[in-house]
Every structure is written in structure tokens, then in C-alpha cells.
């Protein structure tokens, strides 16, 4: 069974729309990371959240770690075609061992 469930699996929206991606688990993590992956490339780290309830902003992207450190969300405001890609969450146990969600494939149409 998968430790981290991501939803939705696929998302196709128009440029300018807002969206939220969810990452849920019944397990507690010491930290949680969000990555973006382009075709043929490896995942690229966007953010790390470590404190329950923590909110981090990266331009139009807002990341939140759940109070109990079991879940997280990624919100994109006014999505752009350049936001297109595969978004992955990864929770850390024992600091270094990361468990990945299966990803959300986002397509932003111009």
C-alpha cells in the first residue's frame, strides 16, 4: 500500500485558473517536500515544510503542512502554461528516507 496518496492524479485547466493539489497520509512525517518533474528529467525540489501548520509561499505557489504533519497541500494561483508538469509530494521518515506520492500531472492550457 502507498504511504502518501495524492489527488487529483490528473488536472487540466485553463491559464489563469487556480488549483489545489492534495497529499494525504495516515502517517506522521518529520518533513514534507514538494517536487516538480518535467518529462525526461528528475524531480526538482520546490519546497520543504517541517512544522505542523506551516505555510510557505513561492511566487504563485502556496504550500501548507497539516497541523498533525500527516498531510499537505499545494495551491497555485493564476496558473500559467509554464506550471505544466508532474507535481510530487514526498514525506520524510527518519529524516533521510523519503516516501513519494504517485504524483499529480498538471496541464495548463493557454
Binding site for another protein (CB under 8 A): 2, 4, 30-31, 33, 35, 40-45, 48, 50, 88, 90, 92, 94-103
Q: How far is the CB of 78 from another protein (least distance, A)?
A: 27
State the DSSP code for 82.
G
Q: In sequence order, what are the beta bridge partners of 31?
A: 92
CB of 35 to another protein, least distance (A): 8
Q: How far is the CB of 105 from another protein (least distance, A)?
A: 13
CA 102/CA 9 separation, integer angstroms: 8
Query: How far, in Å, CA of 85 to CA of 103, rounded?
Result: 10
Amino acid at each position: 500500500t502507498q504511504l502518501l496518496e495524492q489527488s487529483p492524479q490528473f488536472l487540466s485547466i485553463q491559464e489563469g485558473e487556480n488549483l489545489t493539489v492534495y497529499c494525504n497520509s495516515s502517517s506522521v512525517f518529520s518533513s514534507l517536500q514538494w517536487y516538480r518533474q518535467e518529462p525526461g528529467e528528475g524531480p526538482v525540489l520546490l519546497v520543504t515544510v517541517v512544522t505542523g501548520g506551516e505555510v510557505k509561499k513561492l511566487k504563485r505557489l502556496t504550500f501548507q503542512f497539516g497541523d498533525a504533519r500527516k498531510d499537505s497541500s499545494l495551491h497555485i494561483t493564476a496558473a500559467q502554461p509554464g506550471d505544466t508538469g508532474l507535481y510530487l509530494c514526498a514525506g520524510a521518515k527518519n529524516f533521510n528516507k523519503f516516501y513519494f506520492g504517485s504524483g499529480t500531472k498538471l496541464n495548463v492550457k493557454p
